[in-house]
Amino acid sequence: MDDEKYDVVVIGGGAAGLSGALTLARARRSVLVIDAGEPRNTPSAGVHGFLSRDGVAPAELAALGRAEVLSYGGQVRDARVDTAVRDGDGFTVGIDGGTQVRARRLLVATGLVDELPDVAGVRDRWGRDVLHCPYCHGWEVRDQPVGVLSTGPLGVHQAQLFRQWTEDVVLFVHTGPRPTDEEREQFDARGIGIVDGEVASLEIVDDAVTGVRLRSGDVHPRRAVVVGPRFTVASPVLAGLGVPVTEHPMGIGSHVAVDARGTTSVPGVWAAGNVADPIAQVMGAAAAGASAAGAINADLVAEDVARAVEARRNPFSAAAVAGRTPEQFWDDVYGQLDRMFSGSSNLFLVRQASDLAPGTALDLGCGEGADAIWLAVRGWWVTAVDVSGTALDRAAGDAREAGVAGRIDWQRHDLAESFPAGSFDLVSAGYLHSPPGLLPREKVLRAAVLAVAPGGVLLVGAHFGMPSWMTDPPPDLHLPSPEEVVESLDLDLGEWTVEPARFIEREQQGPDGVLGTRTDYVLTVRRRAL
C-alpha cells in the first residue's frame, strides 16, 4: 500500500482527467492522475476545434496538460488502474496488478472504447482517413469524395452532416437500415448517393484510402470513409465501484449517467469526459473535467468543515485524528500547553509499585515522564516510551533536574509500529487511551505481557468510564472495563496471576473549572518466577 492518501485520484489522464487534476491541484488538493496513456484520438495527427490550440498533436496536448498539473504540485503516474473499491470513508485504487493508493474522492475520466465495424482496412486507417466526427475532421476532407459506411440508424444522419463539408458524399448501406422514401428524397435533393450491398474492404494505396470495395467486387473511389463506432465504457473499475453503466439515450453505446457537475450515483465518485458523454469533443471533455473538479473540491470543503467542527467539539474524536499520524496528534496535544500534566506520578503506580524491589522497568506511554522519574528516584532502571517527541523532551529535562537522567532511557516509539526491546521486572501501561484508530491498544498490551520478565509484574492503569463532569462523552471513545482488558491479554493462567482490579476514585477538574470525580482502576498481573 502506498503510504500516501490523496484527496483525489483521477483515473485517466486525457483532456477530462488532466483538466480536472489541474483545477484540483490549483485548489491545493493533493491529486494523483493515473493514466494508461491511450487517449481515443491517439491515431489522429491533430486535435481540431480546440480554441487557441487548433491542430495541436494529441500527444503534445497531453504533455502540455501534464506539465501544467505537475507545475501546481499534482502528480501523474503512467499506469493502468485495475481495481477501485470503497474503503471506509474513501477508496482504494489498485494499479498495474500491484501497488495500491488511497483517495478521499475519485474522478473517473477513462474515456471510451470505439467499437469499429469489422471491415478490412477500417482499423488500420482509423483516425486518419476513416473518421466519425465531422467537427473533428470535416474540414480536413472538405470537397473530397467521402463514403459513409452505415452500420446503424446514425449512417443517414452522418451522410447528411458530411454533405455540409463536401458535395461528393455516398452512403454505403452495408449493414445499416435502408433509407426510407423520405430520406431518399432528402438525399436526392442534396445530391447524396446511395450504394446498396455489403462492403468487403477498403482500398488502400500508398498509405491512403482510395476506395470502398463491395462484396460484389465493385470498387467505388473514395478519399475518406465515415463510420459510426459503438461507444462503450464498461470497465472493472466502474464495476468495482458499483457505478452503473447504462445505454446512452442517443442509442450510440453505453455511458455513465451523471448530473451537470459529473456526479455519479455513487457517493464520492465523479465522472467526466467521454466516459459520461460519448459525443464530447476535447474542449467539452476538458470543461467537464474542470466542472467535476470544482464539485469535488466543494464536497471536500464541506467534509473538511464538518470534521473541523467535530474536532473542535471533541479533540479526541476520530475527526480530530483524521489525516494525522500518532506523533503529529500527540505532539499537537502536548504542544498546546507548556505542561500538560501535574508532574506527580500516577496514583495507580504509587499504590502498586511502592513495595516492589527496584529492578528494570518499562513505562509505556510515559508522556511528560512523571512516572519514569518517580521510579528512577526509587532506584529503578527505566526504559520510558512515548510517541510524542515534545513530551519526551520535557520528560528528559525534568529527569535532569531530578538528577536521574542516567537511570532513564527515553525512547520514541509509535507502539503500533515498534516496541522497545528487552524484558523488564515491571511493565507499566498507564492510561493508554488514544482516539479511535491511533493506537492498537490490545496489541500493545499483549506485547507488554511478553515484555514482563519471569517473576515480574504488569500494571495496567486506566480510566473506568467518563468523569462526572463530562455530560456529553465522545461517542467513539471506548474505555474498556478491567474484564475486557484481562480477556484481551490472552494469558496462560498457569504462568500468570491476575489480581482483582483496584478502583481509585479521585477528584478531577473539568475544562470549565468544574470539580468532579473520576474513577480509575489498576490491574496487577504477575508472572511466575522461573
Helix (H) or strand (E) holding 400: helix 389-402
Burial (CB count within 10 angstroms: exposed 0-12, middle 13-18, buried 19+), residue 14: buried
Distance CA 283, CA 107 (A): 18
Residue type, 212: V
Q: At 369, is the secondary structure helix, strand, or coil? A: coil
Is residue 237 part of the contact set for ligand FAD (CB under 6 A)? yes
Which residue in 145, 176, 228, 273 binds ligand FAD (CB under 6 A)?
A: 273
What gap in Å lies between CA 116 and CA 123, rounded to an integer?
7
Residue 314: CB minimum distance to ligand FAD, A: 39
Question: Which of 10, 11, 271, 293 lies at the binding interface for ligand FAD (CB under 6 A)?
Answer: 11
d(CA 232, CA 247): 9
Minimal distance, residue 75 CB to ligand FAD, in Å = 14
Contacts of 499 (CB under 8 A, 6+ apart): 523, 524, 525, 526
Does 61 contact ligand FAD by CB under 6 A? Answer: no
Contacts of 372 (CB under 8 A, 6+ apart): 361, 363, 366, 382, 384, 395, 399, 408, 410
Angle at 336 between CA 330 and CA 341, to 5 degrees: 75
| Contact window for ligand FAD (CB under 6 A) among 34-42, 305-313, 350-358, 399-407 | 34-42
Q: What are the strands of the beta sheet with 169-172, ordered from one edge?
A: 130-131, 224-226, 146-149, 169-172, 193-195
Output 273 or 430, the one with its CB closest to ligand FAD. Answer: 273
Q: Please report how close the Cβ of residue 43 comes to ligand FAD at its closest, in angstroms.
A: 6
Q: Binder to ligand FAD among 7, 8, 10, 13 (CB under 6 A)?
A: 13
Among 23-31, 108-116, 317-325, 498-506, the segment contacting ligand FAD (CB under 6 A): 108-116
Region near ligand FAD per CB under 6 A, out of 103-111, 151-159, 345-353, 460-468: 103-111
Report in angstroms how near the CB of residue 143 gets to ligand FAD at its nearest.
19
Indicate whether 37 belongs to the interface with ligand FAD (CB under 6 A): yes
Which listed residue (5, 26, 29, 40) binds ligand FAD by CB under 6 A?
40
Give the residue, chosen from 263, 274, 317, 390, that forms a contact with ligand FAD under the rule CB under 6 A: 274
Query: Which of the ranges 29-37, 117-125, 437-445, 480-488 carries the binding residues for ligand FAD, by CB under 6 A?
Result: 29-37
Of 361, 334, 357, the C-alpha closest to 420 is 361
CB of 154 to ligand FAD, least distance (A): 15
Decide: is 123 part of the binding site for ligand FAD (CB under 6 A).
no
Site string for ligand FAD, 162-201 (x = CB under 6 A): ----------------------------------------
Taking the least distance from each CB to ligand FAD, the nearer of 110 and 524 is 110
Asked whether position 271 contacts ligand FAD by CB under 6 A, the answer is: no
Residues 321 and 329: beta-carbon distance below 8 Å: yes
Angle at 437 between CA 388 and CA 309, to 5 degrees: 85
Looking only at the bridges linking them, the beta strands covering 113-115 and 230-232 are antiparallel
Binding-site member from 23, 44, 264, 314 for ligand FAD (CB under 6 A): 44
Q: What is the DSSP string of 154-197?
A: HHHHHHHHHTTT-S-EEEE-TTSPPPPHHHHHHHHHHT-EEE-S
**Out of 9, 14, 435, 451, which residue is the one contacting ligand FAD (CB under 6 A)?**
14
Of 110, 151, 297, 388, the one binding ligand FAD (CB under 6 A) is: 110
Which residues of this chain interact with ligand FAD, rule CB under 6 A? 11-17, 34-41, 43-44, 47-50, 80-81, 109-111, 114, 127, 133, 136, 235, 237, 273-274, 280-283, 285
